[in-house]
Amino acid sequence: MDKISDVTIADCEKSTYIKPLRLTYQQNGIKKIWDAMKVHDSVVILIYNVTRHVLVFVKQFRPAVYLCSSKVSEVEGQRVIKHEENPPNLGLTYELCAGIVDKDTSLEQIAQGEVLEECGYKVPLDKLERMCSCRGGVGTSGALQTMYFAEVTDAMRVSQGGGVEEEGEMIDVVDIPVSEAMDFVMDDNVNKPVGMMFAVLWFFQHKNKHYSSKI
Amino acid sequence: MDKISDVTIADCEKSTYIKPLRLTYQQNGIKKIWDAMKVHDSVVILIYNVTRHVLVFVKQFRPAVYLCSSKVSEVEGQRVIKHEENPPNLGLTYELCAGIVDKDTSLEQIAQGEVLEECGYKVPLDKLERMCSCRGGVGTSGALQTMYFAEVTDAMRVSQGGGVEEEGEMIDVVDIPVSEAMDFVMDDNVNKPVGMMFAVLWFFQHKNKHYSSKI
């Protein structure tokens, strides 16, 4: 478990990461205004390790989730989250391996790179199967998310993964046996985005029978 | 199809809706900064009309999705999206009926209100079944989304729905026959958030057999 401390919150007049844009438009003759932000498209990958019949996820501390799950206090005029009262696992999430589309290569190559960086598997491109695409958000951001399924083996594991240290990523790789995956997904005590939940249900509908017949 | 025109884009120094917060914290002794925004928790509802064996969704124009899908041009120093070159259906999404948690009532009551406002069904509370919860986002926002399943009948339809006009909502109610729902969900030409896709797969795993045996 990561040790989280000294959490403070401040208004951020000019964020490098969150840059609102104002759209004005007419819809059926009525003038409207909507504030949105442009975010990168992304790829996410459901990884299935066929050697050990496990699904591979990433676990990490997500400040935004911690903020939404914690009680904010005021100490000497400053907003803080006391980690003694708000355990860090409030901000811990289980997610699919993922990355943003910020390189001029194919989506498959970006997905391949993320599987290696985050989870340590060197997966051949032909073991990456396109699942579908969806919108990452529809309110403030509307970027496209493309979902892949990657079949890996223990022999493809070349590192421990964990993300790019220079980028400050602190990611744990978590194996969940397929036999426990459905309970895991439907467990409300586990923080997870709905994309991960969709991918697991998709696996059970499209893949699990195929693999079950082989083990 | 909604008529969309006169789309302009401008930087928005101070948005009422998108207010970045800066979190500073220590993770395993390393000082970190993360910009996030606090957004409302929400409820989403998968509606199944048992009379006609259809799933009920909402369709609407989403400016953020349109922005991400369109080519932005510059005309006389102003950023615009030309609707002649970027058809409005680029921003059209199919979603679950949904609402934010901004009232001091139960989640079920908020869900009940949204089903009525957006889709026109007066659904009794005991026909709302809690499905699960998830995180709406994990990067910049981490709010909790609680998902419900609502069984409705034609007799419960008391209005056309469409959202609250005073709030500027322009929502179409769309029925998708259960027999077509899986193809609809996996169709990449249809813009939709992954929460809607998850809900439909959940329906097929948990509900459809039960109903199929009755029709």
Taking contacts as CB-CB distances below 8 angstroms, the residues of chain B near A186 are 132
Q: How far apart are CA B99 and CA B102, in angstroms?
A: 9
- B211 pLDDT exceeds 90? no
Q: What is the pLDDT confidence band of residue A172, given thresholds at 50, 70 and 90?
A: very high
Given the DSSP bridges, would you call strands A144-152 and A42-49 parallel, antiparallel or unpaired?
Answer: parallel
What pLDDT is attached to residue B215? 56
Q: Are B116 and B158 in contact (CB under 8 A)?
A: yes
Note the pLDDT tens digit of each residue in A59-96: 999 999 999 999 999 999 999 999 999 999 999 999 99
Could A142 and B69 be called an inter-chain contact, meaning their C-beta atoms sit closer than 8 Å? yes
Beta-sheet pairing, B78-81 with B73-75: antiparallel
Q: What is the mean pLDDT of residues A178-186?
A: 96
Note the pLDDT of residue A125.
96
Q: Cβ of A11 and B22 within 8 Å?
A: yes
* Residue A26: closest C-alpha in chain B: B5
Q: What is the pLDDT of residue B179?
A: 95
pLDDT bin (cut points 50, 70, 90) of residue A208 is confident
Query: Which residues on B lie below 8 Å from A6 (Cβ)?
Result: 24-26
Distances (CA, A) of B135 to A107, A179, A197, B140, B194: 25, 24, 11, 11, 12
B126-to-A26, A213, B172 alpha-carbon distances in Å: 40, 40, 26
A201 to chain B: which residues are within 8 Å by CB?
198, 201-202, 205
DSSP state of A30: E
Instruction: Return the pLDDT at A215.
Output: 56
Asked whether residue A129 carries a pLDDT value surpassing 70, the answer given is yes
Global pTM value: 0.94
Going by their DSSP bridges, the two strands B144-152 and B42-49 should be labelled as parallel
Contacts of B62 in chain A (CB under 8 A): 138-139, 142
Tokens 């504030």 appear where? A35
In angstroms, the CA A212 to CA A178 distance is: 10
pLDDT tens by residue, B76-86: 999 999 999 99
Distances (CA, A) of B194 to A38, A51, B186, B215: 19, 29, 10, 29
CB-CB under 8 Å, B142 with A67? yes
pLDDT per residue over B32-62, tens digit each? 999 999 889 999 999 999 999 999 999 999 9
- Mean pLDDT calculated for residue range A8-34: 92
Q: Which two tokens stand for residue A150?
A: 């990657």
Ramachandran assignment for B168, one of left (phi > 0), alpha (psi -120 to 50 degrees), beta (any other): left
pLDDT of A213: 67
Predicted-complex ipTM score: 0.93
Q: Give the mean model confidence (pLDDT) for residues A188-209.
A: 94
Closest CA to B64 of B101, B94, B84, B93: B93
